[in-house]
Amino acid sequence: MNAAIVGIGATDFSKNSGRSELQLAAEAVSAALRDAGLTPSDVDGLVSFTMDTNAEIAVARELGIPELTFFSRVHYGGGAACATVQQAAMAVETGAAKVVVCYRAFNERSGHRFGQVQTAAAANIDNSWSYPMGLGTPAAMVAMFARRYMHEYGATSEDFGRIAVIDRKHAATNPHAWFHNRPITLDDHQASRWIAEPLRLLDCCQETDGGVALVVTSADRARDLPQKPAHVKAATQGSGPDQFTMTSYYRDDLTRLPEMGVVARGLWERSGIGPSDVDVAVLYDHFTPFVLVQLEELGFCGRGEAKDFVASGALELDGDLPLNPHGGQLGEAYLHGMNGIAEGVRQVRGTAVNQVADVEHVLVTAGTGVPTSGLVLGAS
Amino acid sequence: MTDKTAIEKEAARIAEQGESAPRLARDPVNLPMINNWLEVIGDRHPGYTEVAPPAMVQVWTMGGLHGQRAPDDPLGAMMKILDEAGFTSVVATNSDQTYHRYLRIGEHVSVTSSLEDVTGPKKTALGEGWFVTTRSTWYVGDEAVAEMRFRVLKFRPAEKQETKPEPQKAQAIRPSINRDTEYFWEGCRNQELRIQRCGGCGLLRHPPGPMCPECGATKPKYLVSDGRGVVYSYVVHHHPQVPGKQTPFVIALVELDEGVRMLGELDGEPSIGLPVEVVFTKVDDELTMPSWRPRADR
C-alpha cells in the first residue's frame, strides 16, 4: 500500500487520568502530530472505533482542525484497532484524504470499566443468548473457548501463564508501562485468583486510562517528514463463518479463531511475506489463551502446538518471534490495541525501549473473539 | 434467674410505678406550629384557626432535637433493660390514639406515661424480641384530653448470614426479544426448549435468524427439543458479580442431542461430556429461563 504511519503519540497510561476522555484524545492526537512534524491544519481525516466516546468532530474542534474530508468509525471494539490504519491507508490511497489521524482514548479504569458486566449490552439481540444466562464479561466469554482448547490439545493454565510472564518481563524494562519494574513468575500466575475458570487474574489484561494516536499519510509525503516511516505493507479486516461478537460458540470448532485466519491470509497475500519473515509480533493480548490460538491461526506453528512453541522460548526478545516488546496490554496498557501499533512503529524506526535488532517487518493484530484486523508494517 | 424471668420482673416493677410525673410541653398550642404541620401533612382543611388538629397531640410534647427522657419515663427504663439483655434494636409497631376534645390555641398540655404490657420473647422476621406497650395521657390542667397506646418491638437483630443474600430475580439480566426470537421465549414459558427449523430445507439452527443461511428460505419453524445433551465447554464464573447470580456459578455450552449448541447456567459439578437436561425456571409471567442440570440416568 502507498501509505505509512509517520507519527505516533500517547498520553501517560494510568488508572486515574484526572481529565476527560476528550482531553486525552486531544492530547494524544496533538502529540502524534508533533511527532510527525505536522500541524492540525494538515489533517483532513479522522478515524476511531466503536466504544470510544470522542466524536471525530469533537476531536477536530479541540485540535483546531478546520476541515475534514474523511471520517470513519470501525465496528467491534478492539477488533478494529488495525482496521483504523486500513481505513486511513485506503483514504490516503484513494485521495479521500491526505493526512488521517487514528485515535483511541478513554478512562477505562476510572470511568466506564469494560471488564464489568455491561448490562446495557444485553439489549443487543445476539447477546440475549449469553448475558441473561450469566455469561456477561469478556473474560468469561474467552474462558469458554479456553476450556475447550485445553480439552482438545492438553494445554494447561501454565501454558496460558507463560504469555503473561513474557509480557510482564518486557513491560518491566519499559518506563511507559504500567507494570514497569514489576515482572511476575509463573508461580505468581498460578497463585492469582480465579476470574472465570480457567482464566486467572493474571490471564486478563489491565484496565487503563489514556489515549494513543497514529498519523497516516502517503508514502510519498512520508519521505519529506522527519520520522522514518513505518510503511503499511498490508492491512486487513476479518470476519469468519457464523461470526458473533465474543460468543462464536456455534461453529464446528471452538479451538480456532477463523476471523484471524481470514486476516492472516489477507496479510500474507498482500504483503508478500510469510510468518518466517516477521521480526516482531505484536499480538493482541487482552486474554492469554487467544495469544496461543493466534500463533496457530497466523501460521507460526501448527494446530495445538502453540503451547510447545511458547515454552520453547521463541517469544523472548532474542527468540525467533519476539512478542510484544513493549509489554503488551497485560504489561504496558490496554488501549484496545492502539498502543501495540505504536510499538510496531517504534520497532520499525529502531527507537523502542526493548528494541529488536534489524527489524524489517512487524506484525500487529487487533482484538480477538470479535471480528478483527491486522497489519504488517515494514521498514521499506 | 433466666433472662425472661428477669425481664418480666423488671417490667412488673416499672408497671407498678404507674404514671410518670407530668411533663409540660415546650410551648402552648400555637398557630404557627399548626400551620407548619398542616403544610407538611398536606391538610388543607380551613377550620384550624382556633383549634389544633387532634392528630397533632404528640407534637406538642415532643422532646425536640436534643430532648432526653425523664428518669421516670417507663418506656426509657424498659428500653434500657432490654438493651442490656441484648435486645438492642427497636421498631415501632402500633400507635392508637384517642382524642377526647379539640385543643384550643393557648392551652398548655402536659403528658404522662405508664407501662402497660411487656410480652416476649417472640420470634419475628426481624429477630427475637419483646413487645413493649405504653399508655400516654395528655392533660390540660387535670383534664385528660387525649390518650395513646404505643407498642414497639425491641429485638435482637438476626445474625448476619455468612452467605450473600439471594439475588433478586428482578435484578437478572433480561433478554431482548424480537419477532425472530419470540418463539424461543414463548417455548420456555410453556416448558418447551425450541430449536429453529427451516421451513424450507429443515436446517436446525441456534441462535435463530429470519433467513436460512443454507437455502435462503424465510419461513422459520421450530421443533421441540428433548432438552438433553452433553456439556461441550463451560466456565466457572468468579468475578465480577453478575446481576441476578451468586458467584461462583457455572455456565455451560451444551451440545443438544439434536445437534445445536446452547448456553445456560448449570447447577452441578461441570465437566466436558457431562450428560445434562434442561430445567425451566420461571422469573416472572413474561420470562422463563432455561438452564441445565446433570441427568439422573447418566
Classify residue A140: in a domain, yes or no: no
Q: Would you put residue A233 in left (φ > 0), alpha (ψ -120 to 50) or beta?
A: alpha
Cβ–Cβ contacts within 10 Å for residue B256, how many? 21
Which residues 6+ apart lie within 8 Å of A347 measured at CB? A279, A280, A282, A325, A355, A356, A359, A362
The answer to whether position A90 is within a domain reads yes
- Which of the residues A103, A131, A149, A334 is marked catalytic? A334
Instruction: Please give, rounded to a whole number of angstroms, the shortest distance from the CA of B129 to a CA of chain A.
Output: 40
Do the chains contact at B175 and A122, CB–CB below 8 Å? yes
Closest Cα in chain A to B288: A132
| Rounded Cα gap, residues A154 and A163, in angstroms | 17
A249/B contact by beta carbon, under 8 A: yes
**Number of separate helices (H) and strands (E) present in chain A:** 12, 11
A148 interface with B at CB cutoff 8 Å: yes
- Domains of chain B are 3-155 (3.10.129.10), 169-294 (no CATH)
pLDDT band at A179 (very low <50, low <70, confident <90, very high): very high
pLDDT the model gives residue B221: 97
| Exposed/middle/buried for residue A349 (C-beta within 10 Å: 0-12, 13-18, 19+) | middle
* A204 within domain boundaries: no
> A186 — contact with chain B (CB < 8 Å)?
no
Is A76 annotated as catalytic? no
Answer whether A141's CB lies under 8 Å from A369's CB. yes
Q: Which domain holds residue A20?
A: 3-111+209-219
Of B181, B235, B244, the CB nearest to A135: B235
CA A235 to chain CA centroid, Å, is 13
Q: Report the amino acid identity of residue B214.
A: E
Give residue B168's pLDDT: 54
**Which residue in A116, A132, A143 is closest to B289 by CB distance?**
A132
For B27, B37, B69, B112, B189, the CA distances from B61, given in Å and listed in that order, are 8, 14, 12, 10, 58
Is residue A284 annotated as a catalytic residue, yes or no?
yes
Lowest pLDDT segment from A211-215, A234-238, B56-60, B198-202: B56-60
A321, part of any domain? no
Q: Does A147 touch chain B (CB under 8 A)?
A: yes
Question: Which residues of chain B are within 8 Å of residue A144 when distances are taken between CB atoms?
Answer: 233-235, 251, 253
User: Which residues of chain A are within 8 Å of residue B253 when distances are taken between CB atoms?
Assistant: 144, 249, 254
Look at residue A264 in the predicted model and tell me its pLDDT. Answer: 98
Q: What is the pLDDT of residue B1?
A: 52
| pLDDT tens digit sequence for A45-55 | 999 999 899 99
Whole-angstrom distance, CA of residue A81 vs CA of residue A243: 18
Give domain status of residue A107, yes or no: yes
Are the C-beta atoms of A47 and A73 separated by less than 8 Å? yes
Q: What is the ipTM of this complex?
A: 0.95
pLDDT digits (tens, 9 = 90+) for A77-101: 999 999 999 999 999 999 999 999 9
Q: Following DSSP, what letter does each residue of B91-152 receive, concatenated?
A: EEEEEEEEESSPEETT---EEEEEEEEEEEEEEETTEEEEEEEEEEEEEETTEEEEEEEEEE
**Which of A30, A103, A31, A32 is closest to A335 using CA atoms?**
A103
Q: How far is CA A291 from the centre of its chain?
A: 12
Nearest of A43, A117, A102 to residue A341 by alpha carbon: A102
Closest to A349 (Cα-Cα) out of A333, A365, A338, A360: A360
Within 199-258 of B, beta carbons closer than 8 Å to A belong to 206-207, 213, 232-245, 248-249, 251, 253
DSSP state at residue A350: T
The pLDDT tens digits for A121-176 are 778 899 999 999 999 999 999 999 999 999 999 999 999 999 999 999 999 999 99
Q: Other CB atoms closer than 10 Å to residue A371's CB: what's the count?
A: 24
Q: Do A127 and B289 touch (CB under 8 A)?
A: no
Mean local confidence (pLDDT), A361-373? 98
Specify the pLDDT at position A367.
98
When pLDDT is cut at 50, 70 and 90, the band that residue A275 belongs to is very high
Q: Does A41 touch chain B (CB under 8 A)?
A: no
CB A215 within 8 A of CB A6: yes
* Selection from A169, A195, A196 nearest residue A183 by Cα: A169
What pLDDT tens digit does each residue of chain B (298 aa) get? 567 888 989 899 998 988 899 999 999 999 999 999 999 888 888 889 899 999 999 999 998 888 888 888 999 889 889 988 888 888 888 889 999 999 999 999 999 999 999 998 888 878 889 999 999 999 999 999 999 999 999 998 876 555 555 555 557 899 999 999 999 999 999 999 999 999 999 999 999 999 999 999 999 999 999 999 999 999 999 999 999 999 999 999 999 999 999 999 999 999 999 999 999 999 999 999 999 999 987 6
CA distance to A84, A227, B72, per residue, from A4 (Å): 13, 11, 90
Q: Is there a contact between A148 and B245 if contact means CB atoms under 8 Å apart? A: no
Residues 6+ apart with CB under 8 A from A224: none
**DSSP secondary structure of A131-193:** GGGT--SHHHHHHHHHHHHHHHH---HHHHHHHHHHHHHHHHT-TTSTTTT----HHHHHHSP
Cross-chain residue pair A122–B233, CB shorter than 8 Å: no
Cα of B6 vs its chain's centroid, Å: 33
What is the number of domains present in chain A? 1
In B166-204, which positions are buried (b, 16+ CB within 10 angstroms) versus exposed (e)?
A: eeeeeebbbbebeeebebbbebbeeebbbbbbbebeeeb
Query: Helix, strand, coil: what percent of chain A each, to 5?
Result: 40, 20, 40
Using the beta-carbon criterion (under 8 Å), do B173 and A116 form an inter-chain contact?
A: no
Measured in whole angstroms, the distance separating CA A140 from the mean position of its chain's CA atoms is: 20
Question: Which is nearest to A293 in space by CA: A260, A334, A323, A337?
Answer: A260
Q: How many other C-beta atoms are found inside a 10 Å radius of the C-beta of residue B121?
A: 19
pLDDT for res B165: 52
Please determine, for residue A216, whether its predicted confidence score (pLDDT) is greater than 60.
yes
Residue A31 belongs to some domain of the structure = yes
Cβ contact A123–B253 (<8 Å):
no
**H or E segment to which residue B82 belongs:** helix B74-84
Q: Do B235 and A123 touch (CB under 8 A)?
A: no
What phi, psi does B79 have (nearest 5°)? -60, -40
Listed residue (B135, B56, B150) closest to B94, CA to CA:
B150
Residue A148, in any domain of the structure: no
CA torsion, ordered A173, A176, A177, A180, to nearest 10 deg: 40
Contact yes or no for A29/A101 (Cβ under 8 A): yes
What is the model's pLDDT at position A278? 98
* Residue A100, domain CATH: 3.40.47.10
Distance from CA of A145 to the nearest CA of B (A): 8
Does A348 reside within a domain? no
Cell triple for residue A238?
Answer: 476479518
CA atoms within 13 A on the CB side of A337: 27
